[in-house]
Structure 1
């Protein structure tokens, strides 16, 4: 097994891979923001955040029945968990305060000041923490500094993680907490410190507050720990003792966060049992008695299982090509992987399979307004996390065509994620109401980019009636999905504000590129040993 290769430290932060990577992550998250939250789901979660500390309700009466369900004493409640709402709380307080400053008194349009503050600060925080944690975890798996840094960059730039950096859904927060669980629980396996296990369990417990289905992440991490312990201790009493110690420390933490979720459930709906899904189903069937009894899990299993795999509008292989590379490397190089890497891959793909099966019968298994299938994309990112590091580690052991194929797949993955940023994600969904199904969404996105850049949207039949039905959506999907362009398209801010915003954006873009070049030219990263 290769020896650990910690990221080298330096007296100068400008020579530190970790510092430069974190700075690049912050600038990347800054550049890709549109100033908007991203989706209606996150806007509703932000309204729940606002309701925590103001007199506003979590759901406005005019939003029902399209959104919201009746809770305790007939109040309208959100049907989401509390996790992401808590994450956005500090930014919401600050953003609300800034929005009430005299300088912004006359600016009341979208993107709102509050949304701008929340989207920028939260996305940048998640990006920096994820970059540093990924670097740490890959170091724990004994990848060299070069392999760890390039693997982290691949996650940030070549997976749907980039799209969800721009669009503030729960995905990147869930990814961060799950990876934290894997990292700190692996540290506990190696050193036996209680603090590491408690930190890892707390991260996974926080995930339960975000989305209850992350119980699958908890189980996957437990499988990872079991496999690593088995490889380390072998079958016998020592393994049993360590597993018992694991359960004694981790399970109470999970139960604590489970209790917090139940208390939130009771506060909203007056019941400790069940979830909001049951209430959603009951109220939906009252409005539409034709809905099946199994709603919202009424879809045929095969439709929701094979759809995320092969549907041209949602296929995880198309939207996250690094998964293809990971599968290729598993087939060709499994015997060369060390036991910890094998354990992680088994746990990661078990997690992916679990999500595919869980959402297979869900009424909107596709995630609806999303780039790819947002319900399984986080598991896909975790499963494909080691693709680039393993390609680099075993480069000399593979045939030359494998490395070239890997380079091609990484390049294709980068293109797919970059084009995902160009327009707000509902664009192709609106177009498909006219163009029909199935549609190769990624090809349609590339056609939209070319048509918009050349001023040929109308001539190429890409301006459809459905795009104009919501006035704000039409404004948002008919401009580049970056803050200076959206601000200019809305046309409310003074011209000098538009110019300053564009100048700052271009400076951040140039700075990010310069930081990336500096990072890749560090002596510690310009060469690396392969196994």
Structure 2
């Protein structure tokens, strides 16, 4: 039985606690986007009498399904994820203490759902990421630091606050990598089954995650090839893999198709084709290939180099990965090479698929949200590899790595400061191209010193929607949003500030404690008896 003292000496437990506190501290109390709000309504419709789409939302959102009913055009994956939290939140919202606040902005239900769901996903992601890095033979210290880098130094942090599908997809794909590689190491069919189930579950979230499924398979194949497996041996392993994975994938594919039939009466179409059909009926001028109307080169070059959406600007650790790969490739282990090649293939596949989409960059989003998760996978090994090969690197490469890490920290923390559409509204006045990250830093300084109007940053477009303006003109953390909206009683705002401050202080203490434990581990070794307290 664990005591608190034992947990506080266990680096893995400290990592999990830190992940939970990170997710807690960054929440705004809102799902963060209209997409997630709509998915939450679909969640509510699963167990209540409310519809998945209200009539007043159409045609801006929704598509007609069977018997003329309005249906959401998203997969069911994230809605299922939020179901337990939604049931709990609905019960809490009905408590007498919230009788005078129920339904106001932000609602009790959305606060509880966003906190519970984001914390759960963040903690599980931390544990699975640590496990996978350990499987790749990174030392404990490097694995923990690499996990913290994913949580804090990539766009994963932003999507912990703004609860789109990205981090849930990241979690499930990480489980796929970890469990299927475990099968490759020890032949565990159980591990292969659960890894395949995680990847299959991703299909219910977004069908394009089939590319994740393919690339995890490529990773497994590349590990075999780079380890020298050939001929009949590789055929036997592939046959064993297919025998377990394929039925699982088909099962989840059937569930997705069944959900499609339940809503729209067909197993063979997608909501994209249905949305496009109704959009063309409302606007016959739309081209026949809508919504894939962007020239491929525009979407590709935009994702790579546009100052509003460049994956290199929003995730600088990707640059570090490329530098390390170019510098140290011959020193990498076969499994590291296999991982980097497979994630590079995944990134190219996503870039090419979404490069033709009319909203190739994800529209209202921080960075290019359609490929952000894949970029996080490509950048996952940057910090662990930098630490592993520190003494083999030229001083300039090490210094560049430190600069990119510092830049990543600034960019990801800045992404939390305001609700994500702020710069998008401002661009209507400021024009294109706009370096969004620099504009965000300017917004932070202007807001902190009360200079938004003086610096021309309080633009007309920001005022078009009063609800949006309220959210855009406050720091994007729950206590500030409650105070700015002015609907919560003062005692509730005071409690929110106290709890928020305590969570930040606790996070700082946990990270300091984790650093101390890791230093001790580095001094005495990972197997020092007084420090071993594995999570079971």
TM range (shorter): over 0.9
1:61 aligns with 2:58: no
Once residues 393 and 447 of structure 1 are traced to their aligned partners in structure 2, the CA distance between those partners, rounded to angstroms, is 36
Query: What is the aligned partner in structure 2 of residue 436 from structure 1?
Result: 431
1:400 deviation in Å?
1.4
Q: What CA deviation, in whole Å up to 9, does each residue of 1:116-167 have, x standing for no partner?
A: 0100000000010000111000000000111101101110110000000000
Query: What is the aligned partner in structure 1 of residue 8 from structure 2?
Result: 14
1:40 aligns with 2:34: yes
Once residues 281 and 293 of structure 1 are traced to their aligned partners in structure 2, the CA distance between those partners, rounded to angstroms, is 9
Deviates more, 1:100-109 or 1:254-263: 100-109
1:232 deviation in Å?
3.4
Whether the 8 Å CA contact 1:145–1:525 is kept in 2: the answer is no
Whether the 8 Å CA contact 1:233–1:239 is kept in 2: the answer is no
What does 1:68-107 correspond to in 2, within 5 Å? 68-107=62-101
1:11 deviation in Å?
8.2
Whether the 8 Å CA contact 1:146–1:528 is kept in 2: the answer is no
Cα distance, 1:481–1:11 mapped onto 2, change above 3 Å: closer
- Residue in structure 1 matching 2:376, options 375, 378, 381: 381
Query: What is the aligned partner in structure 1 of residue 521 from structure 2?
Result: 524
Moved over 3 A (4+): 525-529
What does 1:53-452 correspond to in 2, within 5 Å? 53-107=47-101, 108-232=103-227, 234-452=229-447
Structure 2 gaps, min length 5: 527-536
1:526 deviation in Å?
6.5
Q: What CA deviation, in whole Å up to 9, does each residue of 1:463-518 have, x standing for no partner?
A: 01110111111000100000000000011111111111101100100000110011
Deviates more, 1:274-283 or 1:229-238: 229-238
Q: What CA deviation, in whole Å up to 9, does each residue of 1:329-384 have, x standing for no partner?
A: 00000000000000000001100000000001001001011110000000000000
Whether the 8 Å CA contact 1:146–1:526 is kept in 2: the answer is no
Task: Provide the secondary structure at the position in 2 that maps to 1:295.
Answer: coil
Query: What is the aligned partner in structure 2 of residue 27 from structure 1?
Result: 21
Structure 1 gaps, min length 5: 1-9
Once residues 110 and 489 of structure 2 are traced to their aligned partners in structure 1, the CA distance between those partners, rounded to angstroms, is 19
Once residues 81 and 163 of structure 1 are traced to their aligned partners in structure 2, the CA distance between those partners, rounded to angstroms, is 22
Once residues 227 and 197 of structure 2 are traced to their aligned partners in structure 1, the CA distance between those partners, rounded to angstroms, is 24
1:429 deviation in Å?
0.5
Whether the 8 Å CA contact 1:520–1:526 is kept in 2: the answer is no
1:13 deviation in Å?
1.1
Cα distance, 1:528–1:213 mapped onto 2, change above 3 Å: farther
For these two proteins, the number of residue pairs brought into alignment is 520
Once residues 305 and 446 of structure 1 are traced to their aligned partners in structure 2, the CA distance between those partners, rounded to angstroms, is 26
Cα distance, 1:427–1:253 mapped onto 2, change above 3 Å: same
Q: What CA deviation, in whole Å up to 9, does each residue of 1:386-441 have, x standing for no partner?
A: 00000000111111111111011001001000000000001001111111111000
Whether the 8 Å CA contact 1:48–1:85 is kept in 2: the answer is yes
1:231 deviation in Å?
2.9
TM-score, scaled relative to structure 1: 0.97
1:101 deviation in Å?
1.1
CA RMSD of aligned residues (A): 1.2
What does 1:460-479 correspond to in 2, within 5 Å? 460-479=455-474
Whether the 8 Å CA contact 1:131–1:152 is kept in 2: the answer is yes
Deviates more, 1:200-209 or 1:97-106: 97-106
Once residues 234 and 125 of structure 1 are traced to their aligned partners in structure 2, the CA distance between those partners, rounded to angstroms, is 39
Query: What is the aligned partner in structure 2 of residue 5 from structure 1?
Result: none
Whether the 8 Å CA contact 1:431–1:464 is kept in 2: the answer is yes
Once residues 450 and 228 of structure 2 are traced to their aligned partners in structure 1, the CA distance between those partners, rounded to angstroms, is 64
1:498 aligns with 2:488: no
Once residues 244 and 59 of structure 2 are traced to their aligned partners in structure 1, the CA distance between those partners, rounded to angstroms, is 43
Q: What CA deviation, in whole Å up to 9, does each residue of 1:270-307 have, x standing for no partner?
A: 00001001000100000000000000001101001110
1:236 deviation in Å?
1.3
Once residues 378 and 212 of structure 1 are traced to their aligned partners in structure 2, the CA distance between those partners, rounded to angstroms, is 15
Q: What CA deviation, in whole Å up to 9, does each residue of 1:433-460 have, x standing for no partner?
A: 1111110000000000000000000100
1:230 deviation in Å?
2.1
Once residues 303 and 526 of structure 1 are traced to their aligned partners in structure 2, the CA distance between those partners, rounded to angstroms, is 52
Task: Provide the secondary structure at the position in 2 that maps to 1:133.
Answer: helix
TM-score, scaled relative to structure 2: 0.96
Once residues 116 and 365 of structure 2 are traced to their aligned partners in structure 1, the CA distance between those partners, rounded to angstroms, is 22
1:527 deviation in Å?
8.6
Task: Provide the secondary structure at the position in 1 that maps to 2:266.
Answer: coil
Whether the 8 Å CA contact 1:326–1:384 is kept in 2: the answer is yes
Once residues 112 and 224 of structure 2 are traced to their aligned partners in structure 1, the CA distance between those partners, rounded to angstroms, is 44
Query: What is the aligned partner in structure 2 of residue 3 from structure 1?
Result: none
Whether the 8 Å CA contact 1:164–1:171 is kept in 2: the answer is yes
Task: Provide the secondary structure at the position in 2 that maps to 1:421.
Answer: coil
Once residues 5 and 90 of structure 2 are traced to their aligned partners in structure 1, the CA distance between those partners, rounded to angstroms, is 39
